[in-house]
Chains A and B, each alone.
Chain A
Amino acid sequence: MEVNTSRENNTITVHFSGRMDTPGAQEITPQMNALAEEADKTIILDCTDLSYISSSGLRIFLTLRKAALDKGGKIIVRNICDSIRSVFMMTGFLNLFEVHSAK
């Protein structure tokens, strides 16, 4: 599980690659908690290279989403694969997130 963060003006782009399974999510949790502090900005969660997500990953997304709601920021999920889309559907996350496809 790899995470790369880049900043541009008021936008933070977080690029995930690999599998966000339970251990993977655990690994990046501290980083994501720090990111939640900046949830007043626009955070783009780039999932182009993310192949898998488990409930632990979903919890990270949801935590960020709640933080954005509190702080008046914005969370955009970008480019999710079919399997993740199916997970988003099953969990109602498609309703909670602004999901952008393509660039």
Chain B
Amino acid sequence: MKAGLLVVVVAAISLEATSIIQYIYSQRAIQQEASLRAESELESAENRIMDVVDQAEAAVRNSVWVAQWCLESPDSIQRIPQRVVSENPVVVGSTMALVPGYSEKYPLYAPYAARDMKTGEIRMLSLATEEYDYPSMEWFTKPLELQDSYWSEPYFDENGGDILMTTFSMPIKDKDGTIAAILTADISLDWLSELVDDMMVYPKAFNMIVSRSGQIMVCPVETLVMHKTIDQFAMESDNYEGLNFVNEAMLSGQSGEIPVRYKGQTNHVYFSPVERTGWSLSIVIPESVLYSGVRRVSVIVKLLQLLGLIMLMVILRVLAKNQFKYYTLNEQKKRMENELHIASEIQMAMIPKTFPPFPERKDIDMAAAIIPAKEVGGDLYDFFIRDEKLFFCIGDVSGKGIPASLVMAVTRSLFRAMSAHEDNPAKIVTLMNETMSDDNKSNMFVTFFCGVLDLAKGQLHYCNAGHNPPMILTDAIRMLPIEPNVPLGILKGMEFVEQETSFNYDDALFLYTDGLSEAENITQEQFGESRIEAALHGRKRSDVHLKNIEQKVAQFVGEAPQSDDLTMLFIHYLGHGSKNTQRLTLHNDIKQIALLPEFVDAVTGQVKIEPLDIANLNLALEEAVANVISYAYPEGTDGLVTIDACVEGSKVTFVITDSGKAFDPTAKEELDITAGVEERPIGGLGIHLVRTIMDTVSYERKEEQNILTITKTY
């Protein structure tokens, strides 16, 4: 998110920089264009003014020779101004004023021709009145003083009808070269404002014309016209210095362009002098007007930029969101994995996992294990005892993952439900199949083996549904004969076949899933049935058997990953057997010796033996077993000692078997019981007692086992 903001900020800065540069260049271009336009407007306005000025001047100059001639006869003088006015439409008034005292007849003489602005009629007036006092007028004194033609300052003419005018005056000399009269031509300045109206180059721009003395002749504020000088205006403004600078430049007859601040905004003043008249013509353009176009463009550009930035922001947000989505997807995956883990734990909690499962029972010794592959799988086993019958099953759901584990859970529940009241495994399996193949859209199936073992009689009823055959361990190890049938969930209406076999004491059944037989090593060789069979040799406690197989398969597989669940169930039957044969299996724990008296009582229960003999028999057996427990297995390792007792008539036989290291107790020397205290060795008493009590004591080493057989006939 921070990176996104940075991108937007950088984009904004670079966009702003380009727009500033663009703005500056546009401003320059606009300024150049504005000054060009202003210059050309000023020039054309000047031309038009000059045109009028020229006409007025020409009107006077063309009459000079006539005027000189008329000096001879002053009465004819009045025809001169009349002619100047009538022949020149730009001239609104004209006079030929005699220098006082020049003519004896007329000490003051100034006939004036005026054009009536309304009727166009030309009236003749005289300026030689007391009120007017023409010899003091500027238009009269200046040319006289300069001895040259002169353009007067603009003024309001009261006689001629309150119009703003200016006067061109020209001295008229007589033959002697003395200035005798002043000939004038008045021009109205009303057209000037019309003229400058045409000069409007920009809206809100305005024009000004000032006279050489700074009198404002044309200006949009009419109250200023002819009432104020630009100097006064500057003094009353908020920027005297700036305006004064412009004023001075204008009044000194320069042309140019000066920016000046007035009332808070910058105005560009373009100015140029009008020749001969001493006027200065100017165009004032407020900067806001000048740059309004470029400002509008820049506002539009800014808006576009903002839009672009917003879009960029949105895009970045969307991208970030996607990234967040990706992140949450990852999170979800993790959570899913976690949930799978929990699912697998729940799954494992469904199956019996406490071993030994029936510690109070001596007729059954069971162990089971599921080694799950990486994800939750579909292997299952289950067992329970009802009505002295052991119900057990093992199964493998096709496929892996959650679907398989769900089917596994359903299968297990169905097994429990169907076997709650039904003892026949074929019926249990058939009922399960009915439910599972009903509307089986997922096409998942389960290979399943179900068995019911009558613990009292040793009768095993079983039914197979496509599962691999279990191993049966009697005198030899072989596969349990099975009907293959078909797995559960495939064929509705399928009748599963029941099979049976009988178990004797110490027989065992080993059930497993193909995760064991098909466990592969790195070279993709499978563990196979023969290795399973080899691992099952020798009778051990069920959990020891499973540990052993687990180790062997782990050794075999090595580094190769486990691809399938591996499930094993070992059922060791210790119940029903031949009447006169009994077995006791002990761990290599000396405390287990305490189990012997009861066992001996059970064995000898069928024989008539004196209590003293029973005590001795017990002693002999204890000595033999204690020997094995103490010496056969290395300390700290788990080992088993089995005692098979057989009573044939009055002969009692004990066969003590262990899988420990070879040890022959009969090899011990006979003990000299007549020796004195000093000579008596501490050891050797045990085997001596065995020898003394029993009739025969024989040892043999067979199939990695120590077998000690002791007999006694009563």
Contacts and interface: CB of A to CB of B under 8 A. Distances in A.
Interface of A: 21-23, 26, 52, 54-56, 58-59, 62-63, 65-66, 69, 82-83, 86-87, 90-92, 95-96
Interface string B501-533: 000000000000000000000000000000000
30 contacts: A21-B593, A21-B596, A21-B622, A22-B593, A22-B622, A22-B626, A52-B619, A54-B626, A55-B623, A55-B626, A55-B685, A56-B626, A59-B683, A62-B677, A62-B682, A62-B685, A66-B677, A66-B678, A69-B678, A83-B615, A83-B616, A86-B615, A86-B616, A87-B619, A90-B673, A91-B671, A91-B673, A91-B688, A91-B692, A96-B677
B612 A62 contact: no
Nearest to B594: A23
B486 interface: no
B692 A96 contact: no
Nearest to B614: A83
A21 B689 contact: no
A83 B682 CA distance: 21
B257 to A, nearest CB: 123
A7 to B, nearest CB: 24
Contacts of A56: 626, 686
B590 A22 contact: yes
A54 B677 contact: no
A95 B692 contact: no
Contacts of A86: 612, 615-616
A82 B590 contact: no
Interface in B676-704: 676-678, 680, 682-683, 685-686, 688-689, 692-693
List the 10 shortest-distance A-B pairs measured between CB atoms, nearest first. Answer: A92-B673, A55-B685, A55-B686, A83-B615, A22-B626, A90-B692, A22-B593, A23-B591, A23-B590, A58-B685
Contacts of B590: 22-23, 26
A92 B682 CA distance: 13
A54 B623 contact: yes
B616 A62 contact: no
B593 A23 contact: yes
A92 B688 CA distance: 11
B14 interface: no
Interface residues of B, number: 29
Contacts of A62: 677, 680, 682, 685
B593 A92 contact: no
B265 interface: no
Contacts of A83: 612, 615-616
B674 interface: yes
B689 A90 contact: yes
A83 to B, nearest CB: 4
A85 B686 CA distance: 16
A58 to B, nearest CB: 5
Nearest to B693: A90
Contacts of A69: 677-678
B689 A91 contact: yes
Contacts of B677: 62, 65-66, 69, 96
Interface string B606-622: 00000010011011001
A55 B674 contact: no
Contacts of B685: 55, 58-59, 62, 91
Contacts of A54: 619, 622-623, 626, 686, 689
A72 to B, nearest CB: 13
B622 A92 contact: no
Contacts of B622: 21-22, 54
A22 B592 CA distance: 10
Which of A22, A82, A83, A92 has the most C-beta atoms of chain B within 10 angstroms of its own C-beta? A22
Nearest to B680: A62
A65 B678 CA distance: 9
Contacts of A63: 682
Given A22-B593, A91-B673, 20 more contacts: A21-B596, A22-B590, A22-B626, A26-B590, A54-B622, A54-B623, A54-B626, A54-B686, A54-B689, A62-B685, A66-B680, A69-B677, A83-B612, A86-B615, A87-B619, A90-B692, A91-B685, A91-B688, A91-B689, A96-B680
A78 to B, nearest CB: 18
A56 B693 CA distance: 16
Nearest to B615: A83
Contacts of B689: 54-55, 87, 90-91
A83 B689 CA distance: 13
B604 to A, nearest CB: 15
Nearest to A90: B692
Contacts of A82: 612
Contacts of B619: 52, 54, 87
Contacts of A21: 593-594, 596, 622
Contacts of B682: 59, 62-63
A80 to B, nearest CB: 13
A89 to B, nearest CB: 9
A56 B689 CA distance: 11
A67 B682 CA distance: 12
A95 B676 CA distance: 8
A65 B676 CA distance: 11
Nearest to B623: A55
B695 to A, nearest CB: 14
B615 A52 contact: yes
Interface in B641-676: 671, 673-676
Nearest to B688: A91
B588 to A, nearest CB: 13
A33 to B, nearest CB: 13
A97 to B, nearest CB: 9
A51 to B, nearest CB: 8
Nearest to B629: A22
Contacts of A55: 623, 626, 685-686, 688-689
A85 to B, nearest CB: 10
B503 to A, nearest CB: 33
Nearest to B675: A92
Nearest to B626: A22
